[in-house]
Amino acid sequence: MMSSNSSSSTRLFPEALRRRVHRAFDGWLRRRGPTLPPLTLHYRQIFILPTPFGWMIALLLHGMLLGSLNFNNSMGLFTTFLVACTGLLSLHLAYRNLEGVRIESVHAEPVFAGQDAELRVALREGAGRARSGIVCLLATGPPLEGVDLAPNGTAVCHLSVSTRQRGVHRLDRVRVRTRQPLGLFEAWSWVHPGTSLRVWPRPAEPAPPRPESSTAERSSRAGDESDEFHGLRGWREGDPLHRIAWKASQRHDQLLARQFTRPERGRLVFRLDAVPAASVEDRLSVLCRWILDAERDGLDYGLDLGWTRIEPGHGEAHRKRCLDALAEHP
């Protein structure tokens, strides 16, 4: 994750030093108060500083103050004070806009390396005040659009995280900030997501041929229409209507359902050490490609990574389990 966000600061400071500072700051944040969702933002979590524009206005006001004081220009002074007080009020309003907002969760769906992951920050308003312009962003990423919260309402902020390396990455802290109402002050809070982002290996392209089902055990079971027609059997509760063989049923005076069998096919177990590739990462990439292809071809497949073994199966959940295992491979 961190490596994916290369910024100019990387060049300025040695990476190790930067990381250490980052970690020290994280530690300080955690000691200050809870930072893990679900989390309601209070003064312990909220920081406020002027924005660059706020500093500019402050400079301008200083000029106005000095000039007006020097010439004892009463109206000039009054203008200065009025603008300054409005500005300070906006400090308070910025704080109030963030205070009492609840961060319910920070969640990211796994992606393949190289894709952009979507981070979803779920927000809930808990104090009965409407909030506007609350923006979530990562420490280094660009700000995206803000969300508004109705009194006691909810909203989800979407953040995009670019990924490069396979693995289970701890999500970096998320900045929840607001610059409302005047853009003079920025109130923000750091939230440690507490969840991880799984990045699956990038599917190898091109990949070496998938091993045939040499280690296969055979099986047969009822499949669906794409499979070959096998015969008829008595209708049972739960059979879909279109499976009913209406004509045959009429002949036999009972409901009959068509029965299909899947052609006999291989059940594969992909072994990490059997992949013809040089490095571990390349092998994992190839495995990823095979898993995707096997799933597409409707095969049963399993995985043997040495430290874990997944029995053959298929389906969305199974595929995800296999890919997660690839991501978690040490």
Partner 1 sequence: MRTRLTSPTVLVVLAAFLVSVAPHLMAMPPMLWLFVAASLTWRLGAELRNWRPPGRLIRVGATFLGLGLVILHYGTLWGRRAATALLCVMVASKLLEMYRLRDGRMVAALAFFLVATQFLFSQRLELLLWLLASCWLAVAALLRIQRDEDAPRTTPVRSDHVGVMRVLKSGAGQLAFALPFALVLFALFPRLGSPLWGLPEEALDGRTGLSDEMSVGEIASLFNDDSPAFRVTFDGTVPARDRLYWRGPVLWRFDGRTWRRVFYANRPVERVPSIDDDSLRYRVQIEPTERRWLFALDYPARWPDEVRVSANFELLRDEPLTTLTPYTVISEPDFVDTPELSPLFRRLATELPEGSNPRTRERAIELRREYPNDAELIDAVLRWFNEGPFFYSLETAPLGRHGADEFLFDLRTGYCEYYASAFAVLMRHAGIPTRIVTGYQGGFWQAADDYLLVRNSDAHAWVEVWLEGRGWVRVDPTAAVSPSRILDGARGAVPGAGNWLDAEWIFALRNQYDRLQHLWNQWVLGFDADRQQSMLRRLGLQALGVTGQAALMIAAVLLLGPLAWWLLGLLRRDPQRRDPIERAWRRVERRLRRRGVPRAPGETLREWTPRAAGAIANGGELERLAETYSRLRYGRPVPEPAVRRFLERCRRWRPLVDRAR
For partner 1, give the closer residue by CB, 52 or 238.
52
User: SS in 3 state form for the chain?
Assistant: CCCCCCCHHHHHCCHHHHHHHHHHHHHHHHHHCCCCCCEECCCCCEEEEECHHHHHHHHHHHHHHHHHHHCCCHHHHHHHHHHHHHHHHHHHHHHHHHCCEEEEEEEECCEECCCEEEEEEEEEECCCCCEEEEEEEECCCCCCCCEEECCCCEEEEEEEEECCCCEEEECCCEEEEECCCCCCEEEEEEECCCCEEEEECCCCCCCCCCCCCCCCCCCCCECCCCCEEEEEEECCCCCCHHHECHHHHHHHCCCEEEEEECCCCCEEEEEHHHCCCCCHHHHHHHHHHHHHHHHHCCCEEEEECCCCEEEEECCHHHHHHHHHHHHHCC
Q: Is 21 in the site for partner 1 (CB under 8 A)?
A: no
Q: Which is nearer to partner 1, 180 or 285 (CB)?
A: 180
Contacts with partner 1: how many residues (CB under 8 A)? 49
Q: Is 95 in the site for partner 1 (CB under 8 A)?
A: no
CB of 91 to partner 1, least distance (A): 12
What is the x/- site pattern for partner 1, positions 301-320, by CB under 8 A? --------------------
Find the shortest distance in angstroms from Cβ 43 to partner 1.
16
Minimum separation from the CB atom of position 17 to partner 1 (A) = 31
Binding mask 132-161 for partner 1 (x = CB under 8 A): xxxx------xxxxxxx-------------
In the bound complex, what is the minimum distance in angstroms from residue 23's beta carbon to partner 1? 29
- Per CB under 8 A, does 69 bind partner 1? yes
Q: In the complex, what is the shortest distance from the CB of residue 192 to partner 1, in angstroms, rounded to a whole number?
A: 23
Does residue 127 touch partner 1 according to CB under 8 A? no
Residues lying near partner 1 in the complex (CB under 8 A) are found at 53, 56-57, 60, 63-64, 66-86, 88-90, 93, 132-135, 142-148, 178-184
